[in-house]
Each structure stands twice: as structure tokens, then as C-alpha cells.
Amino acid sequence: MPQTLMAFLAMMVASIAAYNQQMSSVRSQEDRIRSELEMMASAVALHEIEVTAASKSWTALDDLDDTSGTADFSLDTISVAFNWEWDVRYVDDLGEISATPTDLKEAEVTITHDRWPIDLVIIARTFGL
């Protein structure tokens, strides 16, 4: 009987060790996938912000506020869809949000992915009048 208990205990310990390793492996893999998605999301965010900076006038930036949509990161055989959302607000000279209009607008793009319940990348740029 004591031997049976010892054997059961030993197998339980081994099983727990194997389970923990498996969970650690899954977390590690999820982290690596998220890290890759963050790199792609950064590329999408930079594209959005550069094209906006090149094509929108200071006044037209207001049109972006609260707009959202999707954009793909595509290369070779892969294509990953990301969601983007813009926030545009007035900021003061210190970059603090201003309740009253100033000569500076901060345009912030947030990139998310349907698989993750978090903001993958947020990039903001300040535009002067």
C-alpha cells in the first residue's frame, strides 16, 4: 500500500511537471506570435501615420478623429489584417491634451488585432499649424 501511494505520488509529480512545461511552452509560443504581430502592427501604424502626414492638411486632420478601419500587412504568402483607429486632439506646448483649440494637434493611431484583446501598437505624432 505505501509503495502504491508513493508510485501514485511520483506519477502525479511527473504529470504536473509535464503539464507546467506544456503551459510554459504554449505561453512562450503565444508571446512569440504576439511579438511578430506587434512588428507587423508597427509597420501598419507607421504607414498610416506617414501617409496621413504626407497627404492631410492641418485642418483636415480633424476628419480623421474617431475614424476606424482595417489595413493589411502583406508580404509574400502572408497577409494579416489589423484594425486601426484614429484619435485627434488639441495639445499644448508640453504635449498635454488641451480642452481649448491650440496651434498643435496630436494624431494618434491605435492598431489592434482580433486575436488579442489589447492595443498592439499606439503611435502619436504632433502636427503644428
Residues that bind other proteins in the complex, under the rule CB under 8 A: 3, 7, 10-11, 14-15, 17-18, 21-22, 24-25, 28-29, 32-33, 35-36, 39-40, 42-44, 46-47, 50-51, 53-55, 73, 75-76, 78
Minimum distance of other proteins from residue 53's CB (angstroms): 6
Asked if 103 and 94 count as a contact pair (C-beta separation under 8 A), the reply is: no
- Identity of the residue, 7 or 97, whose beta carbon is nearer to other proteins in the bound complex: 7
- Identity of the residue, 80 or 91, whose beta carbon is nearer to other proteins in the bound complex: 80
Minimum distance of other proteins from residue 109's CB (angstroms): 12
CB pairs under 8 A, 24+ apart, for 111-117? 111/41, 111/42, 111/44, 111/45, 111/82, 111/83, 111/84, 112/82, 112/83, 112/85, 113/37, 113/41, 113/80, 113/81, 113/82, 113/83, 114/81, 114/83, 115/37, 116/34, 116/37
- Identity of the residue, 21 or 126, whose beta carbon is nearer to other proteins in the bound complex: 21
Minimum distance of other proteins from residue 89's CB (angstroms): 23
